[in-house]
Amino acid sequence: MADWSPETYLKFEDERTRPARDLINAVPLAYPAFVVDIGCGPGNSTELLVERFPRARHLGIDTSPAMLDKARARLPDVEFRLADAGSFKPDTPPDLMFANAVFQWLPGHMDVFVRLLDELEPGGVLAVQMPDNIAEPSHRLMTEVGASGRWAYKLKAAGRAPLPPIRHYYEAMKPHCRRLDIWHTIYNHPLADAAAVVEWVRSTGLKPFLDPLDESERADFLAAYTERIAAAYPSLAGGGVLLRFPRLFIVATR
């Protein structure tokens, strides 16, 4: 895929950062010495970690050079590295590894969680948040439009797989940690209109559908998708629409 767009991602920074805040508030650590932000993006979640744990050494990793440039400009005193979440190995055992909305992109991420738990300091925490929204209209309609147009042959593998059942996480991770908390939170984000819903997903879930298309295909895809989104997200009585967004949270203490 083409590189991620920090500017598009940050158009909804407050809404995107709220789950990171909620995840940080659930971390049962007072003074971690070493904190890693896995999939740090443009640094919005890293900034929250620095504010919460100002005495710690902080490291942010991401696969996007554009995102890392934005993060370094935002937090010049924090170390950021180009690294892949699936193969990352810390140089010293962290007290906290934090991952906000990244592992949903990695097939087989449950095995990665088990490996990362074993990389932690004893008593360390792996804290993860992932969108669990494949069944929502915003994502279901991507797949439907992708399969219905002249671009279908290009988009056969564009859709993200749904997350595994919760019990699979519990059974895989519990033998490696002394405490494991797993829960869902459903956010309802008020947005201006259907076009705002499209703009929201354009820098995340919609990106694998748009990147393979040429300019003409992309315009037609977006028009068809926006039309279906407008029908799926009717206007509220006072104007605007609500974007329902389920997310899965995992906090595991080694």
CATH number at residue 56: 3.40.50.150
Give residue-wise pLDDT tens across range 63-109: 999 999 999 999 999 999 999 999 999 999 999 999 999 999 998 99
131 within some domain = yes
Say which residue the tokens 């100002």 belong to.
Answer: 54
Q: Which two tokens stand for residue 213?
A: 């298309």
To the nearest whole number, what is the mean pLDDT of the chain? 93
Give residue-wise pLDDT tens across range 20-34: 999 999 999 999 999
- Residues 30-39 as b/e (b if ≥16 CB within 10 A, e otherwise) read eebbbbbbbb
Q: What is the pLDDT of residue 7?
A: 54
1 within some domain = no
CA distance 178 to 251: 11
| Domain region containing 119 | 6-253
- What burial class does residue 214 get, using C-beta atoms within 10 Å of its C-beta: 0-12 exposed, 13-18 middle, 19+ buried? exposed
79 within some domain = yes
| Residue 86: how many other CB atoms lie within 10 Å | 17
CA distance 92 to 169: 26
Query: For residues 97 and 36, is the Cβ–Cβ distance under 8 A?
Result: yes
Residues with Cβ within 8 Å of residue 113, at least 6 apart in sequence: 103, 126, 128, 169, 172, 173, 250, 252
pLDDT at 142 exceeding the cut of 90: yes
Q: What is the mean pLDDT of residues 31-53?
A: 96
How many independent structural domains does the chain possess? 1
SS3 122: coil
Residues with Cβ within 8 Å of residue 92, at least 6 apart in sequence: 34
